[in-house]
Chain A
Amino acid sequence: MSELDINDKVKEMLEKSAENAGSKNSEKTFVHPEDEEREVIAPDGSIIKVNPIYDYFSGKKPTEEKPSNGVVEKFLNWARSESIWVLGFGTGCGSIEIPPLMTPRFDAFRFGIQMRPTPRQSNAFIISGYLSVKTLKRVIRSYEQMPSPKYVLALGSCTINGGMYYDSYSTINRLDKYLPVDVYIAGCMPRPEALLAGFMKLKELIKEGKGEKANEYARNFDEYKANQKKIIKDWNMPDYNW
């Protein structure tokens, strides 16, 4: 890349930051100090302005990925169903049911299920139990950082209709209005056996080629985003956190 190109790129970035800053000031926002616009020194010594919220993430909308043809897709689906890597993020009371799943008694490893520490390495997300608005924000951010194809398991009755927290001002009622859900596991709380059954169901769905909820999210992105922004009033992250 020549020097001219870099200058162009920096200029473009600055313009983008300025644009974003303009739109940012128009309404009340809740930006954390570490996300504020600032100047940093680049490796080549030049000073560039960065706006972490908009520059460090791709703000592009997600796009649909078409499945491969015939046998190839079937083979891929088989492979996907046999390696379900779960994001270990306890979002509610049900997260206490997940540790026994990994003990010798239930041993989810034999089904190709394992916990991962980061969304970048996982393809299944267990939303366990009640989900407060504050947690939903983190959940959306984590979900969008997961590589596609990705699956969501909703654990417990709170994710279906609000459960015993249906009238709470701080917890959501229906998860499927905010994120596409593959499998619901009913109960309050479901035992690890139920969770295993849910995983088996998820495997069936994937093998049948029905685990396409990431594409559904991309297709109905605006609708989901509108619902999310309706309740998350302090939206201080990009629209798509990839």
Chain B
Amino acid sequence: MKEILDRITPKYDLQDVSIKDDLQAYVVVEKKLAIDMVTYMRDYEGFSHFVLMSCVDWIEDNKLQLLYLLNNPEKKCVIGIKVFIDRENPSMQSAHHLWKQIWTYQRELREAFGIDFPGSPRIEENFVLEGWTDKPHMLRDFDTNKYAEETYFPRTGRSTNDPATYMRQKLYPNQPVTAKKNKDDE
């Protein structure tokens, strides 16, 4: 793993390299070099197994982070390639030509996070939800509780018993509540 990183770090000007152990490392790469790097890792470094593609919403930094996880079956090592993209109108170069399963991942990311992958096959089709018209549901500023209350018919008088609150009241009835209140208690 170390020697692979030594080779690719100057090549792709990697700033943030975190080595978890001998067989696992994560690197952050610039957006315009990302697909180039994924292709290089596949064709020259033996990372021929595409494990998964995922997304993280860094709402505080106004960024979305894409993760391409690749596996080298011979050396048994894993590399995660992270890319930061803008949160407003997110768009990323499509990697559908490298592995076919990326088609599906990109369809999923488009539905869940609203990321556009121009040129990816069947990208316009529904992935899980049908006829979804609201904002992408996996973004952190999408309030699922509010949406459910407005869209469906919440039953009035619904109450929940949080086990922590219940046991606190039962065991220490005289002690003032110092811990953060549960949302359902209000």
Seen from chain A, the residues whose Cβ lies within 8 Å of a Cβ on chain B are 30, 133-134, 137, 160-162, 166-170, 172-174, 177, 227, 230-234
In the complex the two chains form, is B130's CB within 8 Å of A133's CB?
Answer: yes
Identify the interface centre among B131, B142, B144, B151: most chain A CB within 10 Å of its CB: B131
Residue in A134, A161, A162, A168 whose beta carbon sits within 8 Å of that of B130 in the complex: A134
B58 interfacial by beta-carbon distance below 8 Å: no
A167/B145 in contact, CB under 8 A:
yes
Could you say which residues of chain B place their CB within 8 Å of the CB of A227? 153
A177 to chain B, nearest CB (A): 5
> Within 8 Å CB of A137, what residues of B?
130
Report A78 CB to chain B, min CB distance, Å: 35
Contact partner of B147 (CB less than 8 A), chosen from A30, A162, A169, A177, is A169
Contact A30 B145 (CB under 8 A): no
| A166 touches which of B131, B133, B158 (Cβ 8 Å) | B158
Contact A174 B131 (CB under 8 A): no
- Total A-B contacts with CB atoms under 8 angstroms apart: 60
B155 sits at the interface (CB 8 A)? yes
Q: A162-B155, A173-B154, A177-B152 are in contact. List 20 more A-B contacts (CB 8 A).
A: A30-B130, A134-B128, A134-B130, A160-B155, A162-B152, A162-B158, A166-B148, A166-B154, A166-B158, A167-B144, A167-B149, A168-B148, A169-B142, A174-B153, A174-B154, A177-B153, A230-B151, A233-B131, A233-B132, A234-B130
Q: Are A234 and B131 in contact (CB under 8 A)?
A: yes
Point out the residues of chain A lying under 8 angstroms from B154, CB to CB.
161-162, 166, 173-174
Bound CA span A134–B134, Å: 15
* A169 x B148 contact (CB < 8 A): yes
Q: Which of B144, B153, B155, B158 is A169 in contact with, Cβ under 8 Å?
A: B144
Q: How far is the CB of B78 from chain A (nearest CB, A)?
A: 32
With a CB–CB cut-off of 8 A, which chain A residues contact B153? 172-174, 177, 227
**Per a CB cutoff under 8 Å, which of B129, B132, B144, B155 touches A174?**
B155
Q: Which residues of A are found within 8 Å of B63, using beta-carbon distances? A: none
Shortest A108–chain B CB gap in Å is 30
Residues on A with beta carbons closer than 8 Å to the beta carbon of B152? 162, 172-174, 177, 231
Interface pair A161/B131, CB less than 8 Å apart: no
**B158 to A, closest residue via Cβ:** A161
Known A-B contacts A160-B155, A161-B158; A173 and B129 likewise in contact (beta carbons under 8 Å): no
Ranked 5 nearest A-B pairs via Cβ: A234-B131, A233-B131, A161-B155, A167-B145, A173-B152
15 of the cross-chain contacts (CB-CB < 8 Å) are A133-B130, A160-B155, A162-B148, A167-B148, A169-B134, A169-B144, A169-B147, A170-B129, A170-B137, A173-B154, A174-B155, A177-B152, A231-B152, A233-B130, A234-B131
Q: How far is the CA of A133 from the CA of B154 in the complex (A)?
A: 15
Q: Which of B9-37 contact A (CB under 8 A)?
A: none
Interface centre among B132, B145, B148, B154 (most CB of A within 10 A): B148
State the CA gap A169–B150 with chains docked (Å).
Answer: 10
Give A170's nearest chain B residue, CB to CB.
B129
Give the distance to chain B from A55, nearest Cβ to Cβ, in Å.
23
Question: With A and B bound together, what is the CA distance between A231 and B129 in angstroms?
Answer: 12
Chain B residues with Cβ below 8 Å from A133 are 129-130
B129 contacts which chain A residues (CB < 8 A)? 133-134, 170
CB distance from A234 to the nearest CB of B (A): 3
